[in-house]
Amino acid sequence: MQSKNLTEVTEFIFLRFSRFHEHQVTLFVVFLILYTLTLAGNAIIVTIIHTDPQFHMPMYFFLSMLASSETMYTLVTIPRMLSGLIAQSQPISLAGCATQMFFFLTLAINNCFLLTAMGYNHSVAICNPLRYTLIMSKRVCVQLTCGVLGIGLAMAAVQVTSIFTLPFCHRVVGHFFCDILPVMKLSCVDTTINEIINFVVSLAVIPVTMGLVFISYVLIISTILKIASVEGRKKAFVTYASHLTMVIVRYGCPSIAYLKPKSENSVEQDLLLSVTYTIITPLLNPAVYSLRNKEVKDALHRAVGRNIYPLTLFIKSKDRLWDREGRPEQESG
């Protein structure tokens, strides 16, 4: 009987937000708006950074990498989730589920280590400004980015392989995408080893990278306190406090989701946490890291102005042409 069940499980069905069935349309509209804002914000950031020469420096290089990674991160989960809110029954094959999990984990780990690289970049810029361009050369930035992506790929491969070598007896995933813990629950064998692997990888990613980021910000704050100008200290604190807030949000929700005891798992809590770090956090990233940045806002205004000014000239020229052609007709009438 068990082997029969094993051979029958060739696809999964997502439970999604079925407990909020009466609010499916509302959820779809809200999530679609948030997703559109996320895509637009990240697209603006990447476009401005790559087209404006003043942003061709390490800090903005990492910002563009984070924005690109966040965009792909949301593409892995949100479009399918949105379509599922409209069409209730959308099964996913085991291969499709494994693929989604692999890219989700790769990009999630990549984002964590990118934030670490950004924290290191900030600390070098503040604590060692005279050697900043030497330490954070273009080559070093590219090497850090490639190393971060390599770590994400390797860790995701380990986790996905450990999960999808399990036999599955159940088809319904109590989630809106193929995350580790909800899929692991569908196995009909003991998953202790898999839980240990997940815990070790999560421990290596979340507390370690978060600790490195906080070390960077301790160095930054200690240097800021030495600034003689009160206005300079205030400006620096406002800038890096917002960054640090974003880091806490980014690491806080995954920490609760992946490091909490198994006995404390609940479907509602897991869904809420997942919505936070898959939908809300990617939207906050462009707002906190870039769109609050004065240089980025100035560049955005310049870009908008360049597009609006020719249109204004065109409208004015058409108005003048209309006056020249229309006035004689009015006078003759």
The whole-number pLDDT of residue 266 equals 62
By mean pLDDT, which of 6-10, 222-226, 285-289 is the weakest? 6-10
Closest CA relative to residue 84, chosen from 8, 31, 5: 31
Length of the chain: 333
Map out the domains of the chain as residue ranges: 2-294
- In Å, how far are 165, 213, 237 from 95, measured between CA atoms? 12, 35, 47
- What would the pLDDT profile of 52-107 be if each residue is shown by its tens digit? 788 888 888 998 899 899 999 999 999 988 888 887 667 889 999 999 999 999 99
- What would the pLDDT profile of 283-320 be if each residue is shown by its tens digit? 877 777 655 566 666 666 666 655 544 444 444 444 44
Contact 113, 151 (CB under 8 A): yes
Q: Of residues 142 and 264, which shows the higher confidence score?
A: 142
What pLDDT band is residue 228 in, cutting at 50, 70 and 90?
low
- In Å, how far are 112, 124, 127, 129 from 135, measured between CA atoms? 22, 8, 12, 10
Contact 52, 131 (CB under 8 A): no
Write out the DSSP string of 39-90. HHHHHHHHHHHHH-GGG-SHHHHHHHHHHHHHHHHHHHHHHHHHHHHHSS--
The whole-number pLDDT of residue 214 equals 87
17/27 Cα distance (integer angstroms): 9
What pLDDT band is residue 144 in, cutting at 50, 70 and 90?
very high
Helix/strand/coil for 325: helix
User: What is this structure's pTM?
Assistant: 0.81
Closest CA relative to residue 243, chosen from 103, 74, 67, 122: 122
175/315 Cα distance (integer angstroms): 52
Percent of the chain with pLDDT over 70: 74
246/106 Cα distance (integer angstroms): 20
Domain 2-294 sits in CATH 1.20.1070.10: yes
- Token pair 């995933």 is found at 173
Report the mean per-residue pLDDT for the chain.
Answer: 79
Complete edge-to-edge strand list for the sheet that includes strand 92-93 = 92-93, 11-14, 172-173
The whole-number pLDDT of residue 146 equals 95
Helix/strand/coil for 1: coil
Question: Exposure string (b/e) for 84-121, b if CB count within 10 Å is 16 or more?
Answer: bbeeeeeebeeeebbebbbbbbbbbbbbbbbbbbbbbb
Cα separation of the two ends of the chain = 94
Cβ-based neighbour number of residue 290 at 10 Å: 25
Enter the DSSP assignment of 137: -
The whole-number pLDDT of residue 296 equals 65
